Structure 1
Amino acid sequence: MTGKERYEQIEIPTRLASVIDAAQRKAAVRKRTQRVLRYSSVIAAGIAFLFVVNIPSVANALSKVPVVGNIVQVLQFGGGGERTDGVTVGTEAGEDVFKIQFNQTGEPVSSVPAYTVDHRDAPNRLIFTFNGVRNFDYDTLKQQLLDLPLVKDVYENVILDDSAMRFVIELEDGVKHTISEFRDPGYLELKLTSTGEAVTPREVFYVRSEAMPQGEALAILEEIYLEDDVTFIKTASDHFIAVIGGYESREEAEMKLREISARGSYSDDLHIDSWMSDKHPD
């Protein structure tokens, strides 16, 4: 079953009328925000590139790895690629390396389609978003990633755009990563390494939604709270929640919730919660 077919079969919760109304009111804001995000991603990618490739250990390691294609950039967060449409996604996994490949009409593309990578803590996770793609085998991607020893979990996020895809990779604590972008052919390479150091868990505070199945309800929450940098986390019961923040104190989370609550479009669908950084919320 394709990603689009799974999307079309999603059962939409009945408690969405007020949420959809709010999403429509946010449409204009979303368009402006997306423009800002596109420019921010380019800037972030440039900063990340300068930071990573100038670390001697990383540069030295890259010089010893045989590659196909020309390297464009190495980053830990940010974005890149070029605008396209109708690209098919393929994957290939090694011991600690995961390649994301792209082709169109059966031929490898010269450049990676437009993408962003976000890194978040509590839990330690990478969020990949691709635009201009329409065909990908999510089940194969998930299984290959789960076969990597440093990957804890993989899950998809529904996006209200049939030419975009997003998936989340949860990593074991203490795992570091680099992402290399190549062209001619265009592909991404994710490399994972363990620091071997113990990570001390800490309590983290979030503004969060109620738990719900993966589906359109969560995608609509992204439309509403896009300007609040909302992301999504899997719960201990395999449901999903929208989260804002990742604060060190309850007071910071409460301040953010008061800010959101003061908006005329707010529909009282968020609350404060906390959990340890190495655990999942209920």
Structure 2
Amino acid sequence: MSNNLDDLKKIYDDIQVPENLSEFVDISLVKGRSRMKKENIKKGWIKGFVASVAVFTVFTISINTMPAFANSLVDVPIVGKLVKVLQFKNGEASGGKITDGTDANSINIKKNASNETIVINFTNNKDNKVTDNVAHFKVDYKSNPTTMTFTINGARALTAEKDFETIKKSSYVSDIYKNMILDDSAVKFTIVFNKPIKYEVKEYKDPARIVIKLTQDKDESTKTVYAVRTLSNEFGENLGIIEDQLFQQLNVRTLKDNKGTFCVEAGVFNTKAEAEAKIKDLATKYGENLKFVVEERGNLEIPKQIK
């Protein structure tokens, strides 16, 4: 946003101050004076109260008109109205409202002594203003390795991709990347965690945001697992077609491998025999159209490139 006088005047003119603001302040002042008399409070209290009202008003206006201001709040407690704490069933949960033209505009991270919080912020793709409600979204949590995939419907942009490198600085995150999706009215991305986690996902409105609180799950131990997956593919339409084809019948996920290519994973098993039985089942359903292999790896390891 430029700082010339015309732009600043427009911002000033566009600010909507509640019609009854002066009445609210007057009533508050009367109450304040009454309280001063009853409790013999110093006169400085009344000035402080007026200042608080003014700060609250400017804060509210700023949140609803300036995305940059809202996104800078990562270092203060989460603002907005809590819509719900997501309840996961079989690793899946959803929320938000059906809309169109949303931009997953930014992702911030806040580090605390015992946990970290990731905040996904939303704006309107047309005018870049903070939206009141989160677009309809789905969260898919899986382990081995631990991932959380977000599919946001009605979204035309993922400007938050610019923040991916910053999110990788989290002590819990090993990678974050955009997923291929054939629907041009949705965006999808995956967060990969470098340790077992306990998580809590909350949806907020006014302004719209998804908040993920992360703590380490110290009870989960490392082990060897056997993954049933496709060969590695470059990021592109073919990858999206494979996932879309499998997604109709299987609860699959797409993972980036150690060389930057991608595979579609159809399941993770505790024994090699279970994994091989799954491949036989898939061969019956898909024939030679798709080739699956068994990959042995640690439960926190990302896949290796297999051509």
CA distance in 1, matches of 2:82, 2:103: 21
Q: Give the one of 134, 145, 164 matched to 1:142.
A: 164
Q: Does 1:184 align with 2:206?
A: yes
User: What letter corresponds to residue 99 of structure 1 in structure 2?
Assistant: V
- Hey, what's the Cα distance between the residues in 2 that align with 1:142 and 1:264? 36
Q: Is the CA contact 2:256–2:302 (under 8 Å) kept in the aligned structure 1? A: yes
Q: Distance in 2 between matches of 1:187 and 1:264?
A: 40
> Which runs of structure 2 are paired with 1:3-152 in the superposition (5 Å)?
66-75=77-86, 77-91=92-106, 92-95=108-111, 96-104=116-124, 105-152=127-174
Higher gyration radius (CA): 2
Kindly tell me the number of residue pairs found equivalent between the two proteins.
217
Secondary structure at the aligned position of 1:228 is classed as: coil
1:262 aligns with 2:284: yes
Aligned partner letter, 1:185: P
Deviations 1:103-136 (A, max 9, x none): 2233322211011111111111111111111122
Alpha-carbon distance between aligned partners in 1 of 2:193 and 2:243, rounded to the nearest angstrom: 23
1:46: which partner in 2? none
Could you tell me which amino acid in structure 1 is paired with residue 109 of structure 2?
A: A
TM-score (norm 1): 0.71
Letter in 2 for 1:71: L
The answer on whether the counterparts of 1:173 and 1:199 sit within 8 Å (CA) in structure 2 is: no
2:161–2:178 Cα contact (<8 Å) kept? no
Aligned to 2:285, the other structure's residue is in SS state coil
Q: Deviation per CA, 1:163-208, whole angstroms, max 9, x where unpaired?
A: 111111111213222111012222111122224x375321212221
**Aligned twin of 2:225:** 204
**Closer, same or farther in 2 for the Cα pair 1:69/1:139, shift >3 Å?**
closer
Write the distance in 2 (CA, Å) between the matches of 1:68 and 1:252: 47
Task: Structure 2 unaligned segments of length 5 or more: list them.
Answer: 1-75
In the alignment, residue 239 of structure 1 is paired with which amino acid? T
In structure 1, give the amino acid aligned to 2:240. A
Cα distance per residue 1:206-246 (max 9 Å; x no partner): 22111122222211111111111111122222221111111
> 1:66 deviation in Å?
4.2
Match of 1:61 in 2: none
| 8 Å contact kept, 2:157–2:187 | no
Tell me which residue corresponds to 1:224: 245
Paired with 1:268 and 1:192, the residues of 2 have a C-alpha distance of 36
Higher-RCO chain (CA-CA 8 Å, sequence separation at least 6): 1
Distance 1:214 1:268, change over 3 A: closer
TM-score by structure 2 length?
0.65
Check conservation: 2:97, 2:133, Cα contact below 8 A: yes
Aligned residues with identical type, % of pairs? 27
Q: CA deviation at 1:251?
A: 2.3
**CA distance, structure 2, for counterparts of residue 66 and residue 131 of structure 1:** 27
SS in 1 for 2:162: helix
Aligned residues: CA RMSD: 2.0
Partner residue, 1:236: 258
Q: Shift in Å at residue 138 of structure 1?
A: 4.3
Distance 1:101 1:80 in 2: 14
**One-letter code aligned to 1:94:** K
